[in-house]
Amino acid sequence: MRVAVAGGTGLTGKRVVESLVEAGHEPVVLSRGSGVDLVSGSGLDDALTGVETVVDVSNVTTTRAAVSVAFFEAATRHLLAAAERAGVRHHVVLSIVGCDRVDLGYYEGKRRQEELVRAGAVPWTVLRTTQFHEFAGQVLDRVPPGPVALVPRMLSQPVAVREVAQALVALVDGVPLGAAPELAGPRPEQLVDQVRLLLRARGQRRWVLPVRLPGETARRTAGGALLPTAGGPRGTTTFAQWLEQHAAV
């Protein structure tokens, strides 16, 4: 099957492309490097010729709601319109567990993306997953350097990107589900504990100080609003196991 991957050069997209090849599919990477601009829609019609399924793992790096909404609004509208014109049978989207319960700026864009997909004419599946194991490193890299690392309190159930990619490809092989069962990692983890383990694995000596940020959003992320609320598939790779191969990331 010919499968287009929006965001196919990113962290998740590369894994999805690999998993598609392993499953015997023909991936078509939608990226600026391949002549496709999701925000403007340029190149989409040609790229989707003969495509049966689109997997959207596109992303924008921002914490600002306006930037996130603008990106996902434009990219999703163009993707859906081009997919409808091309006769695409299935639109698979990666989203985030708890994005409807936590008012982070980035999550506003993901909520808008889901709204557009649900209202679109192309049959769809949305897979919400928990944070990736890489998230702890992303947080740590944003912390100012120094002997003390201030890390917000946050409870999540991180999952391996490889397992997310495999789940997305499994959905490609099935019928559109609408909202798919949420995918999470094997167990809940405290972000501060993950950061401590990551620092140790990197051979860095810093004191990790948990910070309880003010506001309802911080209270929710610390209290488990990013955990799955129902049964669903669970990854098997723990954060500690992931660290064994990715300590330098």
By the 8 A CB rule, do 131 and 161 touch?
Answer: no
The 3-state DSSP class for residue 144 equals coil
DSSP structure class, residue 57? -
Provide the sign of the torsion angle of the four alpha carbons 160, 236, 1, 52, taken in this order.
negative
Between CA 5 and CA 28 the distance in angstroms is 6
Q: What is the pLDDT of residue 249?
A: 44
By the 8 A CB rule, do 80 and 56 touch?
Answer: no
pLDDT tens for each residue of 99-134: 999 999 999 999 999 999 999 999 999 999 999 999
pLDDT tens for each residue of 19-53: 999 999 999 999 999 999 999 999 999 999 999 99
Matching residue, tokens 């309802």: 216
If one looks up domain 2-246 in CATH, what number appears?
3.40.50.720
pLDDT (mean) for 179-204: 95
Half-sphere exposure of 8 (CA within 13 A, CB side): 24
Between CA 15 and CA 95 the distance in angstroms is 16
Query: Could you tell me which residues come within 8 angstroms of residue 219 by beta carbon, excluding any fewer than 6 positions away?
Result: none
pLDDT (mean) for 179-208: 94
